[in-house]
Amino acid sequence: MAKEELFRSRKVRAIMQGYGAFPVRRGQLDRVAMRRALAALQNGGVLGMFPEGKRSPNAQLQSPQPGTSLLAARSGVPVLPVGITGSERVKGIGFIRHRPRITVTIGRPFLLPHAGDKLTRSRLAQHSDLIMEHIAELLPESYRGVYDHRGSLRGDNGG
């Protein structure tokens, strides 16, 4: 899934589609993209998503959107948490000459707790936080943002 803006240019669209990406409208429920994503997962495919739905403005984890947890819960597939550091230094075309060090840390796959037929907003929020906590565990503390101290939400335990 990739933001629909990337599909506006014919060249970029061709590259994105070549990698199997498809557009999603951010900031709203995109039923077409969600159905396409769910079908891919149910057919044994792999789906790469950024739970926050956008790049962080300060290189720290932000609150997630519910789409990732919704797809993981509905499909029953494992979630593979991935932490990325250093990508905030990729700005403009200058990164080609001054290549920043980007680190990708891959965690252990996990399943979301079974929610039965009750997939409420509250349950999706809990699932989303669980996904983000697993990602936070893979990152240095300075990147954890709202998920600090071993993944607990700031303010939950005075953190």
Residues 83, 95: one domain? Answer: yes
Per-residue confidence in pLDDT tens, the chain, 159 aa: 899 999 999 999 999 999 999 999 988 889 999 999 999 999 999 999 999 988 888 889 999 999 999 999 999 999 999 999 987 767 766 666 777 788 999 999 999 987 667 889 999 999 999 999 999 999 999 999 989 864 444 444 433
Residues 73, 5: one domain? Answer: no
* Contact between 127 and 72 (Cβ < 8 Å): yes
Chain centre to alpha carbon of residue 140: 18
Residue 99: how many other CB atoms lie within 10 Å: 10
Structural domain including 35 reads: 1-48
Residues 22, 69: one domain? Answer: no
Residues 105, 146: one domain? Answer: yes
Task: Give the tens place of pLDDT for each residue, 67-89.
Answer: 999 999 999 999 999 999 987 76
